[in-house]
Structure 1
């Protein structure tokens, strides 16, 4: 294998397709490069739950034949991708990060899985997540610890832990996670990625519920746009989806010139923003102003009791799952998660309903506060990456999730929000800029993200060539 072939794991999707089309590379050669990359880094990073090398080789070989015959299934036939373990793949178990015995086995593919396979994308495997997706880290009773692809001492972020690490480590260009409070954007922020939580229902789910979304985690906005062109398609299995006007998934930057952009420095609840994050946000705002955007201050709009109430509802919901387990199953749940959800056991029906109502209140106040603006910029999270072994940035399971105060409002409101790297701290930890926009404007939002990548400056970028 030539050097170009052996290093093809690092190429973006557009470059791979160009080389497939010219015959310079084949999907089989790229698959071997990615398999070698996984073998090199996976023993330390632990991003995969399921990874079948022989299936990857077989799928890549089929794609190679299609390209050689001049009949690829799509422009992205043969491009490697991963999906989070809670995105169903027919015949594969879905343990949701827990070591509970006898996890359910998917009877059919999720819509996202079907869209990728229909396009000929080579699904490398299923990536890890923490127990029930209720941690912002890669700590799991089933998987152990998933580590950060940039620095294994740091958290991967979660709950799309393995997806973020696979993207940062270079396990091919395309990765799909899920997000109910920040689970795509947090790994994005803490691993220097571009990571989109799309508009509600834009990417159909087979298990939809309020606030939940699937979306891309990639090294570049261009690859996130390409992935959206494949998976942002209607599917009747998602009964919460809504019709959207056709979107133009084109990898062309869009300047915010003439746009009204709100800058939110304080979420109104949760943890305080760290100084280096605050400074990076000011530098990002200067880029928007220099481009001709009108940048306007946005006051905090989410009261602490709204965030606390929603988190308490999540506790009660998870306790319902925990209570249904037998003794062995309960013993298998990560102790932090068990303590976290048991705290919901004593809540009355009325308290639980009031907590659930905070999802609606959060949606109301978020849409009302952001309606006058084309874009809202803020930190993704107030804090930088913490130690990989820690389940949360706050180690008290009875405390609220104060690190999701900027991200979770857009889950409840259904608005798209993307994390784009806006800085690298003095100690090497990455800082994400969140850019949010109105429902159904995801394609324009991602073009602005692409613009920001091009103007943010090298000091704010990850040097992907240096990621070992």
Structure 2
């Protein structure tokens, strides 16, 4: 049976907690109950933390009753992906080879969740080492879509997306090294927000340190902005961490898009999307014009597919970090991930540095592109759904494990802020994602465009009663 809390926004929960109309203990009890009831069907969680969550909820409730200052996330339940460290909790990164690993420290983003009063209920599933844009791993098995158990919620932040789309938590903390927030957001009708590279610190160091982001999955743009605001900010442990004040993302949610210069690109110049995906995403993009934005269609954004640049960088990091796992524990790995590691170790130094310099040229090209536009819109992924257990769509079998998604990985190479919002539903009732990309440090424009698109839709258009 569904509860009034299951699809309540985090912003509404926050208001009710602060005014003592609902208790953090009550919210946590419901989140844990829902997580446990759906686990056998969805498989969203790698580990639940009921005792820790209940203790944190009681502490949050006591703080409310004492009348002191409350954090941004005070008393709100949240989940954390198993690529992010929580002290004293398993830290397996979705791999059987790492199944006995326990984190010694909290990641900075987890420290900030605690500082702002959030209640962490558990760690969510991920594809192995975040290497696949779908929701399965040899360690945890298949994570399923709350709207249709035969479908994948996408990945690699699979469990995070499933937990939010199923109404377990109002938002979740995930990661994005090539689209791992935006891809599952698109496939489950959520908002996935990847802020500027370095805006949310990443530590302990990722296997892909120049690509990795920590970010938010939520059911609304406002909730994604709230969670991102709480975990953003400089941290000296991350050498790429952005210094200076955090943008007022919550303020951007209410901002007008009048005069915003918008480029809409159906393919970025190289993608092969389903026709229905383009039609639904285009309609959402063009609706910004009704709110005063200036929308222009641009077919070619990139001079060729930058997928090989992304794979060179991703493979170099993952391959180097995990070489020992491949050599000693290959039989424990997902075969598709083992193939990625093989390719990584076959890469020559000269070829790698050629890709590095081409990546810098790609960044320069994006600087010039964003002299003319404030945001770039495209489909988030080329499809609206994919069967659970599949690595990629059959018609895109000529593509690699990640590059079949086409649209997301370029903006990990450039580090620009990007989000996915639900553009609408296809004929089968499955969601279609629209990607919004801003210039470097341009999160404010991304959030205000995302919120404007959300305003063009009926309330709850991206939500659906889960099948479990």
Q: Output the TM-score relative to the length of structure 2.
A: 0.92
Query: Does structure 1 residue 259 correspond to structure 2 residue 260?
Result: yes
How many Å separate the matches in 1 of 2:285 and 2:398?
A: 35
- 1:467 is displaced (CA, Å) by 6.1
1:463 aligns with 2:460: no
Per the TM alignment, residue 430 of structure 1 is displaced from its structure 2 partner at its CA by 0.9
Residue 441 of structure 1: CA displacement? Answer: 2.6
Q: Is structure 2 residue 130 aligned with structure 1 residue 133?
A: yes
Counterpart residue number, 1:449:
450
2:230 aligns with 230
Alignment correspondent of 1:149 = 146
Number of equivalences: 463
Using a 3 Å threshold, how does the CA distance of structure 1 residues 326 and 175 change in structure 2: closer, same or farther? closer
Does the residue aligned with 2:325 lie in a helix, a strand or coil? coil
Quick one: distance in 2 between partners of 1:345 and 1:381? Answer: 28
How far did residue 328 of structure 1 move? 5.2
Map Cα deviations across residues 10-46 of structure 1 (whole Å, 9 max, x no partner). Answer: 3211221222233321111111111111122111111
For residues 324 and 149 of structure 2, the distance between their equivalents in structure 1, rounded to whole angstroms, comes to: 35
**What are structure 2's unaligned runs of at least 5 residues?**
none
- 1:52 alignment partner, one of 49, 70, 79: 49
Give the Cα–Cα distance (whole angstroms) in 2 for the partners of residues 240 and 425 of structure 1: 39
Which residue is equivalent to 1:10?
A: 7
Aligned to 1:429: 430
- 1:137-286 pair list within 5 angstroms: 137-206=134-203, 207=205, 209-250=209-250, 252-270=253-271, 272-286=272-286
Please report how far the alpha carbon of residue 103 of structure 1 lies from its aligned counterpart in structure 2 after TM superposition. Answer: 4.5
Change (3 A) 1:399 1:205: closer
Indicate how the Cα distance of structure 1 residues 77 and 139 shifts in structure 2: closer, same or farther if over 3 A, else same. Answer: same
Q: Is the partner of 2:433 in helix, strand or coil?
A: strand
Moved more, 131-140 or 95-104: 95-104
Displacement of 1:58: 1.3
Q: Return closer, same or farther for 1:356/1:72 CA change in 2, 3 Å cut-off.
A: same
Conserved 8 A contact 1:9-1:30: no
Show CA shifts across 1:375-425 (max 9, x none). 111111112221111123368597363333221122121211110100111
Larger deviation, residues 246-255 vs 212-221: 246-255
Aligned-partner Cα distance in 1 for 2:119–2:327: 40
Tell me, in whole angstroms, the C-alpha distance in 2 between the residues paired with 1:122 and 1:305.
41
Aligned counterpart, 1:79 = 76
Distance 2:319 2:235 in 1: 31
Kept in 1, the 8 Å contact 2:132–2:401? The answer is: no
The alignment partner of 2:421 has SS state of strand
Q: TM-score, normalised by structure 1?
A: 0.92
User: Which deviates more, 318-327 or 434-443?
Assistant: 318-327
Separation in 1 of the partners of 2:302 and 2:318?
Answer: 24
Mapped to 1, the partners of 2:99 and 2:5 lie a distance apart of: 38
CA RMSD of aligned residues (A): 2.3
Moved more, 254-263 or 159-168: 254-263
Partner SS for 1:255: coil
Given that residues 128 and 143 in structure 1 are in contact (C-alpha distance below 8 angstroms), is that contact kept between their aligned partners in structure 2?
yes
CA apart distance, 1:93: 2.8
Paired residues of 1:31 and 1:57 also in contact (CA < 8 A):
yes
CA distance in 2, matches of 1:333, 1:224: 33
Deviations 1:160-188 (A, max 9, x none): 11111111111221211110111100000
SS at match of 1:196: strand
The 5 A counterparts of 1:399-410 are: 399=400, 401-410=402-411
> 2: CA distance between counterparts of 1:89 and 1:267?
38
Q: Distance in 1 between matches of 2:465 and 2:286?
A: 28
| 1:302-322 C-alpha deviation (Å, 9 max, x unpaired) | 344632243144334433344
The CA deviation string for residues 142-166 of structure 1, in whole angstroms up to 9 with x for no partner, is 1111111222211111111111111
8 Å contact from structure 1 (residues 363, 410) kept in 2: no
CA contact 1:11–1:172 (8 Å) conserved in 2: no
Q: Where does residue 119 of structure 2 map in the other structure?
A: 122
Q: CA deviation at 1:113?
A: 0.3
